[in-house]
Amino acid sequence: MCLDFLNNQDPHVGDENAERGNWSRKRDYILSMIGYAVGLGNIWRFPYLAYKNGGGAFLIPYFTMLVVAGIPLFFLESAFGQFCSQGPINVWRAVPLLQGETILNSDVKALMSHFSYMLGNVYFLFKASQVFLMMYLNKTRLGHVVVKAPSLSPLCVSPMEVVYFTATFPYLVILILLIRGVTLEGAKDGIEFYIGTQSNLTKLTEAQVWKDAATQTFYSLSIGWGGLMTLASYNNFHNNVFKDSFVVTLTNAGTSVLAGFAIFSILGHMAHVYKMPVGEVVKEGFGLAFIAYPGALSKLPISPLWSILFFFMLLTVGLDSQFAGIEVLTTCLLDAFPKTFKTKRALLTITTGSILYLLGLPCVTRAGIYWVTLIDQFVASWVLLFLVLLEIIGVSYIYGGNRFIKDIEMMLGNKSSMFWLWWRACWFFISPCIILVILGWSMATFVPPTYEKVEYPDWGLALGWCMVTFVLIWIPVIAVYQLIKVKGNPWKRLKSLCSPSEDWHPYLDLHRGQRYSQERCHRKKNHKNLLEVDINVVSSSWL
C-alpha cells in the first residue's frame, strides 16, 4: 500500500483532497483495512488462546469484548482520523495536552509500538522459513538451523495492487486447509473441542481468560497502533465510516473463527495420531503455528504443497501488517513536515523500511524468540491497554464525547438519540471500565515471562520494564513541556491545552461549515486576549 496506493484518477470517487490525496476506490480502503487488521493475530494467536483457555469457552468472552470494546474503539479511531484527514500526530490537535500520545516531534509511542509489532512479524516469518527448512533437511531440533535473513520491511514499498493479493490470498489458503483438515481422521474431536461440546466452561470463572480475550481483541483489530487513523485519514469526508467499521471488525472476527476451525481440525487429527486428548497436544503458543501445524502438514499427502501454502499465507498476512505499519510512520512524517517530505515520499518509505530492517535483525538470531517474547509481554499488552485507555479518556472526557458525536454527524448526517445511546454507553463507561479492570488485575497478578520454562535473568526483566517506561514516559514529559510553553496561570494553561487548537478542524474549508469557522475565530480571539494579558503583566513588572 505504501508508495502508489493513492490513484486519484477514478471518476467514480474523485479526489476531493488533491493536496493530500484520497483512496481511489472504496474497495482499496476496505481491503487495506482488512489486510492491516487480519494478521498473525488471527492465524496464530487467536487459535492458541482458544486452545489455552478452554476451546469453545473462549469464544464467549472474545465476542463479548468485541461488542463492548473492540467495535466501539475501532469506530472511534476510524472516525477520528477521517474527520480531520490527519495521521496520529496531527489528530491530537483536538487535545494538545495529549500530544504525548503521538510520535516523532512529541512522542515515540507509535514508533516503538510499530517497531515491536513488526519485530514480532519479522520473527514469525523467518521462524516459519526456519521450520520449513528444518523439515526439508529432516532435522529434529530447531536449534540446528538459524536463518540469518533480513526483515521484509524494505519490500513494503509495493503498489496498491499488491494488497488485492495479500488481503485475499490467506482466505483461499485457510479454506483449502479447512477442507483438507475436516477430512482427516480425528478432526471431529478437534472441532468439538473448539466449538464447545468438549470445551471447558469452568475457564469462564478465571480472570485470565477475560484478559486474554480483551487483549486479543485490541491486538487483532490493531486498535491503539495508529494504523486505523492513518488509513481512515485518506477517506473522503462523507465516507460512511460507521458501516466500514462493522464490515472490517466482523470480517476480522470471522477470519479468526475460520482459522480456528482449520487449526483445530488438524489438532484433532494430531490427537488421534498421538492417542492423547486434544487439549494436551501442544503446550507452547509459538509451537502451535510453527511446530504442531508443520508437523501435522508433514503427515498429509503432498505435504510439501500444504507446507508451502501455509507458510506463504503467513508471509502474506505479515506483509499486509507491514504495509500499513510503514504507512503510519511515513504519513506521520508527511503530515508533520509536508514541505520537507512531500516530494520525497519514495525516499522516506525506503529509509523507514531500512531502519525497520536493522531493528528486525535481533529477532532472527538464536535468541530471537526470547526478544519477541519479552517485547510481546511488556510492550504489546500493558502498554497497549494503557494507551487505548488514555485515548478513549482523551476523546470522551477531555475533547468531549458529545462534541465528537457532532463531528461524526457532520460526516454521516444527523442520527437519532437512540442511535447514539449504545455508543455513548461504550465510550463513556463500558469500554474504559473494562480496560481499567483488566489493567489493575494484570498488575496485581503479574508473573515474569518465560519461554519453554526458561526464566529471564534480572537484567532481561529490567530491560522489559525499561521498554515500558521508554514508551510511556513521553506522555507526561510532553504534557509538562506543553504546560510550560503555554502562557498564563496554571489553570488557564491546563484549560488551553485541554481545548482544541486553532488547527483542529476538517481538512478542507468546504467541510468546516459555520460551526468550525466560528469556533476557529473564537479560539483566535481568546489566544490574542491571552497574549495581551501576558504583555500587560510583563510591562507592569518592568515599570
Query: Which CATH number goes with the domain that contains 236?
Result: 1.20.1740.10
Any binding-site annotation on 236? no
Residue 499 within a domain: no
Mean pLDDT over 449-477 rounds to 85
Q: Give the number of C-alpha atoms closer than 13 A to the C-alpha of residue 473, restricted to the C-beta side.
A: 6
Which three cell numbers, joined as nine digits, stand for 369?
Answer: 524468540
Specify the range with the lowest mean pLDDT, choosing from 107-116, 234-243, 260-269, 447-456.
Answer: 107-116
Specify the range with the lowest mean pLDDT, choosing from 109-113, 386-390, 404-408.
Answer: 109-113
> Dihedral, CA atoms, 191, 197, 202, 205, nearest 10 degrees?
70
Any binding-site annotation on 10? no
Task: Indicate the pLDDT class of residue 165, thresholds 50, 70 and 90.
Answer: confident
What is the share, in percent, of the chain residues with pLDDT greater than 70? 76
Task: Indicate the pLDDT class of residue 161, thresholds 50, 70 and 90.
Answer: low
Please say if the pLDDT value at position 529 is more than 90: no
Domain limits for position 360: 27-472
Residue 311 within a domain: yes
- For residue range 317-356, list pLDDT tens digits in order: 777 777 777 777 787 788 778 888 878 888 888 888 888 7
Task: Indicate the pLDDT class of residue 139, thresholds 50, 70 and 90.
Answer: very low
Long-range contacts of residues 58-63, Cβ cutoff 8 Å, at least 24 apart? 58/199, 58/203, 58/209, 58/212, 58/213, 59/195, 59/196, 59/257, 60/204, 61/204, 61/209, 61/210, 61/212, 61/213, 61/214, 62/213, 62/216, 62/217, 62/253, 62/256, 63/253
Any binding-site annotation on 252? yes
Compute the distance between CA of residue 522 and CA of residue 400 in angstroms, rounded to an integer. Answer: 18
Task: Indicate the pLDDT class of residue 442, thresholds 50, 70 and 90.
Answer: confident
pLDDT for 427: 94
Any binding-site annotation on 245? no
Mean pLDDT of the chain: 75
Any binding-site annotation on 320? yes
Please say if the pLDDT value at position 237 is more than 50: yes
pLDDT for 402: 92
Among residues 510, 37, 506, 520, the alpha carbon closest in space to that of 235 is found at 506
pLDDT for 522: 60
pLDDT for 108: 38
For 25, list phi and psi in degrees, rounded to 5: -140, 150
Residue 9 within a domain: no
Task: Indicate the pLDDT class of residue 83, thresholds 50, 70 and 90.
Answer: very high
Please say if the pLDDT value at position 486 is more than 90: no
Please say if the pLDDT value at position 289 is more than 80: no
Compute the distance between CA of residue 524 and CA of residue 501 in angstroms, rounded to an integer. Answer: 9
- For residue range 193-216, list pLDDT tens digits in order: 887 656 667 777 777 788 888 878
Please say if the pLDDT value at position 543 is more than 90: no
502, 527 Cβ separation under 8 angstroms: yes
Amino acid at 285: G
210, 61 Cβ separation under 8 angstroms: yes
Mean pLDDT over 10-19 rounds to 59
Neighbours of 412 (CB within 10 A): 16
pLDDT for 256: 87
Q: When comparing pLDDT for 332 and 233, which is higher?
A: 233
Residue 167 within a domain: yes
Compute the distance between CA of residue 298 and CA of residue 114 in angstroms, rounded to an integer. Answer: 34
Any binding-site annotation on 321? yes
Please say if the pLDDT value at position 176 is more than 90: no
pLDDT for 519: 63
Compute the distance between CA of residue 242 and CA of residue 79 in angstroms, rounded to an integer. Answer: 8
Any binding-site annotation on 407? no
- For residue range 57-79, list pLDDT tens digits in order: 888 889 999 999 999 999 999 99
Residue 528 within a domain: no
Please say if the pLDDT value at position 284 is more than 80: no
The kind and range of the H/E element at 433 are helix 431-444
Residue 509 within a domain: no
Mean pLDDT over 254-279 rounds to 83
Domains identified in the chain, total number: 1
Task: Indicate the pLDDT class of residue 536, thresholds 50, 70 and 90.
Answer: very low
Residue 514 within a domain: no
What is the share, in percent, of the chain residues with pLDDT greater than 90? 13
Residue 428 within a domain: yes
Any binding-site annotation on 259? no
